Structure 1
Amino acid sequence: MSVLFISGIDTDIGKTYATGMLAKTLMQQGINIITQKLVQTGVGVDLASGEMNIADDIVTHRQLMGVPLQPCDLAHTTCPYRYKKPASPHLAVRLADDVLDPDVITQATRQLQVNYDVVLLEGAGGLLVPITEQLLTLDYIATQGYPVVLVTSGRLGSINHTLLSLEAIKARGLTLHSVIYNPIHDNAAQTDTEIATSTMAFLQHHLQQYYPATYWLTLPYIKQDKQRHALPYFYLPNGFI
């Protein structure tokens, strides 16, 4: 595959961190890789030019990868659609009095494929978030046939959200490439060690039973103040790409 779609069971689940860490690790393995953002909302405006800034998640990807912004980032090829309102894309597009054309995203991906061996395409929110009034995220991904990487966690409710996401992926005939467990919520107020440990064990068993070809990965936990150059190594199994 040359494009992997990175999504999550909900918003604020760690898709951006997972995408950046995947890109960093694959880059260290000698793979010519770039990340892309499907659409970004909540983007600030450059006061000098009056134009929308580069997508925040793209900036974070490059920081995690330890590389500067690339020419394709500066040209907004890695995220053509950026909006000010921090909301679902379909609403942010409407409030901006704009029209989001999925073909523009597709062409941007193809342009990136010319210069890179692998493109990691990060979604916005969960799988069924509407990117237009008529088009859900997963419906767009289904038209492209991209394998899906799903980010989950151990917080209370994750089992339900994860299984619903898996059902949606299966219903559209897509390949579940991998599930990435993010431990960021293991110590959250609504979660404890027993819940997180049980959630991880249940999901791993479910994948083994119903999705035996799917990779299970666990993200390394980092504190917010940890230096980017000191990021822990993220292990990827042989044959991941």
Structure 2
Amino acid sequence: MKQPKGVFVTGIGTEVGKTVTAALLVRTLKADYWKPVQSGDLNHTDTMKVRKWAGEAAGTFHPERYRLNLPMSPHASAADDGVTIQLQDFELPDTRNFLIVEGAGGLHVPLNDQDCIIDLIQRLGLPVVLVSRHYLGSINHTLLSVEALRHRGISIAGLIFNGDPHPSTESIIEKMTGLQPLFQLGEMQALNDECFERQVQRVGQACKTLLDGL
């Protein structure tokens, strides 16, 4: 099977806007979507959210490899379900379309006793889109995430700042990493079709630049 073209969307931590970012990329690029591990909230999964937000332009939504019941770190939720997550169980979906893969939490969220999300990223072999959200400590978390990815030789396809602009935070991250943000995802007043379509119009060129760079 030929390696699909795509990106792995990860974040500097949890609740930083990975799913909104993934939905925007799916909608803008008319891409496929895959969430390898869903931990908790099985009646309102990230796949369901992205399907709703991406709209009719989206490609195929591929089923999760693991669906775990408790809203906890995947290693703990899997243990409670009586299963063990294994890296060899993950293979990229067979698709000719551009593929958006979304992680769980940050890079060092454990999947089992040995492996973390960053190990899954390395196994799948896709470049990363890193989502950073402004909060006290986010500079440290962003720099650590970039350093961890580079230490593993994982390509960073783009950095996205989520939330209202914070120039001093953004400028020091750019200077210390050498990364220019792919785009700034401002606060969305509502997560509805109209708001997502406005964002698509705003970031469409940046997403084309992402595609051209891969």
Shorter-normalised TM range: 0.7 to 0.9
Q: CA deviation at 1:206?
A: 3.1
Q: What residue in structure 1 maps to residue 107 of structure 2?
A: 127
Structure 2: which 5+ runs fail to align?
Answer: none
Q: Deviations over 1:103-161 (max 9, x none)?
A: 3321xx232x2xx4211110000011111222111112113322111000222111100
Corresponding pairs, count? 203
Matches of 2:125 and 2:158, distance apart in 1: 15
Matches of 2:159 and 2:97, distance apart in 1: 22
Matches of 1:43 and 1:69, distance apart in 2: 22
Q: What residue in structure 2 maps to residue 189 of structure 1?
A: none
Residue pairs, 1:132-147, within 5 angstroms: 132-147=112-127
Note if contact 1:154-1:197 (Cα within 8 Å) is conserved in structure 2: no
1:20 counterpart (13, 18, 23): 23
- Given the two structures, how large is their TM-score scaled by the length of structure 1? 0.76
1:80 counterpart (65, 77, 98): 65
- The structure-2 alpha-carbon separation of the partners of 1:128 and 1:41, relative to structure 1 and needing over 3 Å to count, comes to same
Seq. identity, %: 30
1:197 counterpart (142, 159, 167): 167
Q: CA deviation at 1:69?
A: 9.2
- Given the two structures, how large is their TM-score scaled by the length of structure 2? 0.85
Note if contact 1:59-1:69 (Cα within 8 Å) is conserved in structure 2: no
Residue pairs, 1:18-57, within 5 angstroms: 18-27=21-30, 33-44=31-42, 53=43, 56-57=45-46
Q: CA deviation at 1:180?
A: 0.6
- The structure-2 alpha-carbon separation of the partners of 1:22 and 1:133, relative to structure 1 and needing over 3 Å to count, comes to same
Matches of 2:143 and 2:195, distance apart in 1: 34
2:93 counterpart (110, 134, 137): 110
Structure 1: which 5+ runs fail to align?
Answer: 28-32, 45-52, 187-192
Return the index of the structure with the highest Cα Rg: 1
Matches of 1:163 and 1:10, distance apart in 2: 12
Q: What residue in structure 1 maps to residue 193 of structure 2?
A: 228
Matches of 1:215 and 1:200, distance apart in 2: 9
Secondary structure, aligned partner of 1:12: coil
Note if contact 2:87-2:123 (Cα within 8 Å) is conserved in structure 1: no
Give the alignment's Cα RMSD to 1 decimal: 2.3
1:179 counterpart (136, 159, 171): 159
Matches of 1:141 and 1:170, distance apart in 2: 12
Q: What residue in structure 1 maps to residue 81 of structure 2?
A: 96
Matches of 1:37 and 1:4, distance apart in 2: 12
Matches of 1:201 and 1:177, distance apart in 2: 19
Q: CA deviation at 1:4?
A: 0.7
Note if contact 2:11-2:105 (Cα within 8 Å) is conserved in structure 1: yes
Q: What residue in structure 1 maps to residue 209 of structure 2?
A: 239
Matches of 2:28 and 2:68, distance apart in 1: 30
Letter in 2 for 1:16: T
Residue pairs, 1:136-175, within 5 angstroms: 136-175=116-155
Matches of 1:35 and 1:110, distance apart in 2: 9
Secondary structure, aligned partner of 1:174: coil
Q: CA deviation at 1:18?
A: 0.4
Q: CA deviation at 1:56?
A: 0.8
